[in-house]
Amino acid sequence: MTETPTIDTPQSGVFDRWAEVYDTQQNPLLSLEERTLTPLLPTALGKHWLDIGCGTGRWLHRLEALEPASLTGIDSSSTMLEHASSKLALQAVLIHGDCSSLPAEDCSQDCLLSSFVLSYLPDLPSFAAECARALKPGGCLLLSDMHPGTARERGWTRSFTVSGETFDIAAESPSLDEIVQAFTSAGFDLVTLLEPSFDAPERPLFERTGRLKEYEALTTVPAIYILKLKKRTPSKLSHRADSIQLTNTTWCIGSKDWQRGTLSTIEGRFAQHTEAPDSVLSSIDLSGFVLLPGLINAHDHLEFALFPNLGRSPSEAPYSNSAEWAREIHKLHAEIIDLHKRVPLETRVWWGAIRNLLCGVTTVCHHNPLHLECTLPDFPVRVVEDFGWAHSLDFAPDIADRFQAASSHLPFIIHAGEGVDVQARSELAALDDLGFLGPHTLLVHGLAFTPDDAALLNQRRTALILCPTSNQFLFHQTPANSFINGIDRVALGSDSPLTAAGDLLDEVNLLYREQHLDAATLFNLVTASPAEMLCLQEGEGHITPGARADLIAVRETPHNPADTLANLSFDQVELVLLAGRVQLASQTLYERLPFHLRDGLEPLEVAGNLRWLRAPITTLFESAEAVLGRGTLRLGGKEVHRVAAL
């Protein structure tokens, strides 16, 4: 632990005195903040964190236990830092300084936290710009403070008492609109804004200080605010290849019809269709191929792509519910799980993205903490970022806090009904009793749900994401066609290779070939329906002018688009474009690419099929095989091998 001295700020002496009693004060504002901000914390494991105005280390102490890659705190009070030092391990770095110059290199931090600091800052726009400088693209910024509206209305002041002497602290809170404007102007997007009131957990703190009437008056007004912001990622379009045109091709118009001609992409979006090619644009001749929209995978756990199926064999009795399965595999397969988890997380999420890319998925919803890698411009697929989530009723004790913390305008995703017993069947009613069902709630699995449950989902406008091969593996059954057709809002997900058969197309194939679900329905379950459910706004799931230029190319068939997709397997996907950039090509189409469009593509052999991918294949093999062994990798159950330079 180190400390770098700098010039004291005007109020640092006051804060030095406050440090004497700060940790012993019973402050309901801090209690409320800890209760409501904690569910918003992104994962700290392996991340670089900076606590701005860290005080006596209240948040640093919590973050330290979560194993960050680095942990730094800065505060203007040397005495506050002395108290922080006494409760932190040696790897934490404490800096004596102010917020006008953060102790971080440009774009070096994954997460910034600033608790009860903004109202002390004289120049909010400069502070916002400094935060933007220090954060990596896609990084998270968490802000909290006394609610400015309530503070003005009720005349709240900031003071503390030491040894019978009261000290006032000068503070001036900008309005929430001013705060949001300052940070959005500096390059941030607003993810969540909370304005919580005091509630039962804070009541004892008021009682002990004889202020119960004050508590009762404050339960209906916001006491603090919490902001979660994300630094904008540089537009992926700036990293895309030049605008291109796909000539001599045929593309789908919905699930039933094809259109033939020349299809162009301009700045990552589909342009108006034309009959004749433009001699100025780079061209890819797609004669003999047809184009489908890039698929949308509504449910995945990217970091488990290299894992094998873990669970009972088909000859053994099925599980009753997912909790039973989870307990059993951690008991019986702990060594396998521990081995695979030693592969670096960033490597595992890349392999998860490749698993999706190989089967034509261009947009995926990752149901776990968002890893920074998933936000980078060169990540192989687009990862949905704006949604709230909890794992399940069994494994999310903070589910109520998570639900309340999520934006009411974005999806909230949770596993439910994953099983066949009474416990699994009871979960829908439990979620309804909690008030969690609504048009922005997406439930995953729902195997235990009945036709009456389907009617409740429709009544609440709640959506359902199906993962049939996972259900088949665990419970030896899948949702019936009549149940699927009875739900208004439904989509498909691939789940993870821990339980699933392989990839999203395997989910499609099971429902089509074994259950004979209508092909047009299946087409919708991986295109338009998940786009609506996940609140995607850029035309994902469609090939239409102005939409994101996400598409897949497959060999020409006599079938309509829906039947073509329903019969598709990963080895038939020969070209994938993400926002107009070539992300995958078969050897046949690689040879048709202009040379400048091949730049950055690396070869990979998957189950005997050669594919060129825009991914650091060599690096990914080295990272994974260093743990799992050379020549052992299985991606969604399929063998993957390095390919010598061609």
Task: Please name the amino acid found at residue 493.
Answer: G
DSSP class of 274: B
Rounded CA separation 642/634 (Å): 12
User: Under a CB-based contact definition with an 8 Å cutoff, are residues 308 and 635 in contact?
Assistant: no
pLDDT digits (tens, 9 = 90+) for 204-243: 988 888 888 888 888 888 999 999 898 987 643 333 445 8
Q: How far apart are the first and last CA of the chain?
A: 50
Q: What pLDDT sits at residue 210?
A: 86
Structure tokens at 192: 């969540």
Residue 43 has pLDDT above 80, yes or no: no
Q: What pLDDT sits at residue 238?
A: 36
Residue closest to 475 by CA, chosen among 439, 446, 507, 518: 446
Q: Within a 10 A sphere around the Cβ of 523, how many other Cβ atoms?
A: 27
Residue 159 has pLDDT above 80, yes or no: no
Q: What pLDDT sits at residue 38?
A: 85
Q: What pLDDT sits at residue 312?
A: 96
Taking the C-alpha atoms of 351, 354, 358 and 362 in order, what is their torsion angle to the nearest 10 degrees?
140
Residue 458 has pLDDT above 90, yes or no: yes
Using a CB cutoff of 8 Å and minimum separation of 24, what contacts does 315-319 make? 318/420, 318/474, 318/475, 318/476, 318/477, 319/419, 319/474, 319/475
Banded model confidence at residue 21, pLDDT cuts 50, 70, 90: low
Q: H/E/C letters for each residue in 280-316?
A: CCEEEECCCEEEEECEEEEEECHHHCCCCCCCCCCCC
User: Under a CB-based contact definition with an 8 Å cutoff, are residues 94 and 1 in contact?
Assistant: yes
Structure tokens at 531: 């786009």
Residue 418 has pLDDT above 80, yes or no: yes
Banded model confidence at residue 24, pLDDT cuts 50, 70, 90: low
pLDDT digits (tens, 9 = 90+) for 531-552: 999 999 899 999 999 999 999 9
Q: What pLDDT sits at residue 16?
A: 59
Q: How far is CA 23 from CA 58, 74, 87, 217, 275, in A?
A: 8, 18, 11, 26, 72
The residue-averaged pLDDT of 544-572 equals 96
Q: What pLDDT sits at residue 624?
A: 94
Residue 179 has pLDDT above 80, yes or no: yes
Q: What pLDDT sits at residue 280?
A: 61
Where would I find the H helices in 226-293? Answer: none
User: Under a CB-based contact definition with an 8 Å cutoff, are residues 543 and 293 in contact?
Assistant: yes
3-state SS assignment for residue 388 = strand
Task: Please name the amino acid found at residue 285.
Answer: D
Of 6-20, 314-328, 376-390, which has the strongest mean pLDDT?
Answer: 314-328
161 versus 455: which is more confidently predicted? 455
Q: What pLDDT sits at residue 395?
A: 86
DSSP class of 161: E
User: Under a CB-based contact definition with an 8 Å cutoff, are residues 265 and 496 in contact?
Assistant: no
Residue 45 has pLDDT above 50, yes or no: yes
Residue 631 has pLDDT above 80, yes or no: yes
Where would I find the H helices in 88-146? Answer: 124-134
Which range has the worst mean pLDDT, 158-172, 404-418, 446-460? 158-172
User: Under a CB-based contact definition with an 8 Å cutoff, are residues 438 and 470 in contact?
Assistant: no
Q: What is the CA radius of gyration of the chain?
A: 27
Rounded CA separation 530/86 (Å): 50
User: Which domains occur in the chain, in start order?
Assistant: 12-232 (3.40.50.150), 295-538 (3.20.20.140)
Q: What pLDDT sits at residue 61?
A: 86
Residue closest to 380 by CA, chosen among 201, 576, 512: 576
pLDDT digits (tens, 9 = 90+) for 94-112: 999 888 889 999 999 999 9
Rounded CA separation 572/569 (Å): 6
Q: What pLDDT sits at residue 276?
A: 61
The residue-averaged pLDDT of 422-429 equals 96
Q: What pLDDT sits at residue 86?
A: 86
Residue 257 has pLDDT above 50, yes or no: yes
Q: Within a 10 A sphere around the Cβ of 282, how many other Cβ atoms?
A: 14
pLDDT digits (tens, 9 = 90+) for 397-417: 888 888 888 877 889 999 999
Residue 348 has pLDDT above 70, yes or no: yes
User: Under a CB-based contact definition with an 8 Å cutoff, are residues 413 and 387 in contact?
Assistant: yes
3-state SS assignment for residue 232 = coil
Residue 375 has pLDDT above 50, yes or no: yes
User: Under a CB-based contact definition with an 8 Å cutoff, are residues 367 and 444 in contact?
Assistant: yes
